[in-house]
Structure 1
Amino acid sequence: MVNLIWAFMAVIGILYAMANGTMDQVNEAVFEGAAEAVTLSIGLISVLVFWLGLMKVAEEAGILKVLTRLMRPLVSKLFPEIPPDHPAMGYILSNMAANIFGLGNAATPMGIKAMEQMKQLSGNETASRSMITFLALNTSSLTIIPTTVIAIRMQYDSVSPTEIVGTTILATLVSSVSAVLVDRFYYYKSIRGN
């Protein structure tokens, strides 16, 4: 549906430009935007490779295991029906660690694996409580260090590209707590309704 909306907006814009005789400006904007997108993508690839490498070093050094051990009690409370030693728990913790460092692209494969493991654990096609909680948390944005946004700000010569860290932490705190509260509210409401 979103693709149709974007396509409709593009067609309307082109038709409007044709009617006003400003197609040359539209063409210029399209080519400038495409060139800038390529430059931005290459810059983001380098940042992503750097942070993925750093995550690999942290994994090899055992830092991720320590982080996982520290987060496990909290995550076990959020996902009580998943056994602590189940593979889904490892994928959930890895996904959260990657998201905390602003590596959404690196977190996505781990999130998909976590969902697959939770689906196997539940044994049916209906989303389990854990799957819904995990989705709510991922949607709320568990970012403390927004590396991708910092990289974009650096690429556009921001005077202080890291000044957003404080507001990101505040926004993450509010959105994550809200996601858990709403998740639990609807969970307990559904239990009482049955």
Structure 2
Amino acid sequence: MVNIIWVGLFVVGFMFAAINGNMEQVNEAVFAGAKEAVTICIGLISILTFWLGMMRIAEMAGMLRAVGRVLQPFVRKLFPDIPKDHPAIGYIISNMSANLFGLGNAATPMGIKAMKELKELNNNKDEASRSMITLLAINTASITLIPTTVISLRIDYQSAAPTEIVMTTIMATACSTIGAILIDRYFYYRRLRKGCGDN
């Protein structure tokens, strides 16, 4: 569906450009955008490599284990359906830890592995389980302490104070995470009450 939307946007854009006689500007914008995208990606490699290295050092020093211990009670409350010491718990904690440090690229593989484990717990049904929905909501909202990717982009564009967004990011992502949890719980308990009512 998303692919269809993107294709539709491109087609409509090109049609309007052709009608208004702006095809030359569109072609320039396409090639300039492609060039800028490559430049941004190369710039992000350095900052991501640095923070992934820092994460590896933190893991070897036991800091991630400490973060995991802090997050464990919180995760157990959020995912009561998952058995204790199940591999999914470890992947969820790793995913949340990476997101805390703004490492979305590192968090994604852990989130995918967690989803695979949760699907197995759900007997490989096509319908998402409660825990799968909760993980998706939290991963999307994702409280972030250090927005490494955004800081890197601000450095690339010569921002006078690239790290000034840290506090704003913490506040915004904290609000989004709280909102995601509240909405997730609202619909869960609503569904529970509806199920009880049907019985």
Which position in structure 2 is the counterpart of 1:138?
Answer: 139
Which position in structure 2 is the counterpart of 1:73?
Answer: 73
C-alpha displacement at 1:124, in angstroms?
Answer: 4.0
1:45-73 deviations in Å (ceiling 9; x for gaps)? 11111111111111111110011011111
Q: Does 1:84 align with 2:64?
A: no
C-alpha root-mean-square deviation of aligned residues, in Å? 1.3
Distance 1:139 1:66 in 2: 24
Distance 1:121 1:92 in 2: 14
1:130-171 deviations in Å (ceiling 9; x for gaps)? 111111111212222111011001100011111111111111
Q: What percent of counterpart residues are identical?
A: 61
Q: Is the 8 A contact 2:96 2:142 kept in 1?
A: no
What one-letter code is carried by the residue in structure 2 that aligns with 1:173?
A: A
Unaligned 5+ segments in structure 1 are none
Pair 1:4–1:78, CA change in 2 (3 A): same
C-alpha displacement at 1:37, in angstroms?
Answer: 0.7
What one-letter code is carried by the residue in structure 2 that aligns with 1:100?
A: L
Q: Does 1:156 align with 2:157?
A: yes
What one-letter code is carried by the residue in structure 1 that aligns with 2:69?
A: R
Identify which range, 12-21 or 75-84, moves more after superposition.
12-21
Distance 1:39 1:88 in 2: 36
1:83-107 deviations in Å (ceiling 9; x for gaps)? 3311100000000000111111110
Identify which range, 116-125 or 104-113, moves more after superposition.
116-125
Distance 1:19 1:127 in 2: 45
1:106-138 deviations in Å (ceiling 9; x for gaps)? 101000101111122232413222111111111
Number of equivalent positions? 194
